[in-house]
Amino acid sequence: MLIPSISNETNQLLCVLLGVADQSGSTPTYDEAYDPKSRLHIANGTYPKEIDLIHQLDLMQEALQKHGVDVRRPKIVPNCNQIFSRDIAFVVDHYLLLSNILPARNQEINAIQFIIDQIPSENILSIPNHVHVEGGDVVVHNEYLFVGYYNQSDYAKLVTARTNANALKYLSEQFPEKEVIGFELHKSNDDPYANTLHLDCCFQPFGKNLAIICPDGFMHKEDVLWIENHFGAENLFVTDKQSMFEMQSNLLSIRSDLVISDPTFSEVNNWLNSKGIEVISVAYDQISKQAGLFRCTTLPLIRKA
């Protein structure tokens, strides 16, 4: 039996689902891609090779296991990209929520059914069809749920719009003891520098009271000000569009004082070190080409209370 338990992003990680890249299929066409960063690399002929993706995910597994984390992997589905496990489900407190993902990705949920079957049915929430939400847009922060969303008239035309305004009401109803704070994000199908795929691509808490934020990812300045006021400007590492393109906020905390990051993120890593947080370096540059990074490839199931 597996009882999910996630109250924030930084408590000690005990059990996690890590994506897989095996048999993920050939390079998609430009129109088949789900995001503008993948489309950029398809157009430039630099889309990542499967063997490199597998290698980097294996390095991630080694780093997690070295620090005592129980790592689960999905069953392999041929010709299916299963790298980004955070998209398909997420945990809030003791509940696993199954996302309404893009229809073409339903196979990814089937591939983790053996894990879902270990969780008591009363701890699983199936999100209604009118509610769109992916795990990358939900940041659990103790008594808060931070939720990235998009609520403009072109929502249906944007493959990058993954979470709608209905998610805010739904999550408020499901978790009345938490305050749901919505942050509307910029979206683009074709410009990777103008697109914020998920909230964790422009914002994430670290340590006890720290956060990394890219203001350019947010549609409304008052949302950025809310974060500044809540965390304190002195506790924020502020990045720019280039850093957001590289997804320098999309790291993974194993504990409040231990974070996995890419070795090329020198300024972020030095800042974390200066705040008493040890950084484990794992090269993820090939994963990054598909518009996801450390948080995107991992679905934490249990963190220590």
292 confidence band (pLDDT: 50, 70, 90): very high
By C-alpha distance, which of 166, 171, 114 is closest to 138? 171
Q: Is 304 exposed, middle or buried (0-12, 13-18, 19+ CB in 10 A)?
A: exposed
**pLDDT tens figures, 13-72:** 999 999 999 998 889 999 888 899 999 999 999 999 999 999 999 999 999 999 999 999
For residue 25, the model assigns a pLDDT of 83
Give yes or no for residue 167 having a pLDDT over 90.
yes
104 confidence band (pLDDT: 50, 70, 90): low
Give yes or no for residue 101 having a pLDDT over 80.
no
Please give the full DSSP string across 156-214, using - where no structure is assigned.
GG-TT----THHHHHHHHH-TTSEEEEEEB---SS-TTS---SGGGTEEEETTTEEEE-
The arithmetic mean of pLDDT across residues 183-193, rounded, is: 96
How do 144-149 and 179-184 pair as beta strands? parallel
Cα torsion angle, 247, 248, 253, 258, sign: positive
**pLDDT tens figures, 196-253:** 999 999 999 999 999 999 999 999 999 999 999 999 999 999 999 999 999 999 999 9
126 SS3 class: strand
How do 252-255 and 236-238 pair as beta strands? unpaired
By C-alpha distance, which of 244, 180, 252 is closest to 218? 244
For residue 299, the model assigns a pLDDT of 98
**pLDDT tens figures, 122-152:** 999 989 999 999 999 999 999 999 999 999 9
What is the number of other CB atoms lying within 10 angstroms of the CB of residue 149? 22
Which residues neighbour 94 within 8 Å (Cβ) at sequence distance 6 or greater? 3, 4, 5, 123
Considering the entire predicted model, what is its pTM? 0.96
Q: What does the alpha-carbon distance between residue 105 and residue 240 come to, in Å, rounded to a whole number?
A: 31
Give the side-chain half-sphere CA count within 13 A for 146: 23
Please count the helices (runs of H) and the strands (runs of E) in the chain.
Answer: 9, 15
For residue 100, the model assigns a pLDDT of 79
Average pLDDT of every residue of the chain: 96
164 confidence band (pLDDT: 50, 70, 90): very high
Domain extent listing, the chain: 13-303
The arithmetic mean of pLDDT across residues 246-265, rounded, is: 98
CB contact at 8 A, 146 and 163: no
102 confidence band (pLDDT: 50, 70, 90): low
CATH of domain 13-303: 3.75.10.10
For residue 26, the model assigns a pLDDT of 86
Task: For residue 125, give both structure tokens.
Answer: 């929430």
Convert 182-210 to b/e letters by CB count within 10 Å (16 or more is b).
Answer: bbbbbbbbeebebbbbbbbbbbbbbbeeb
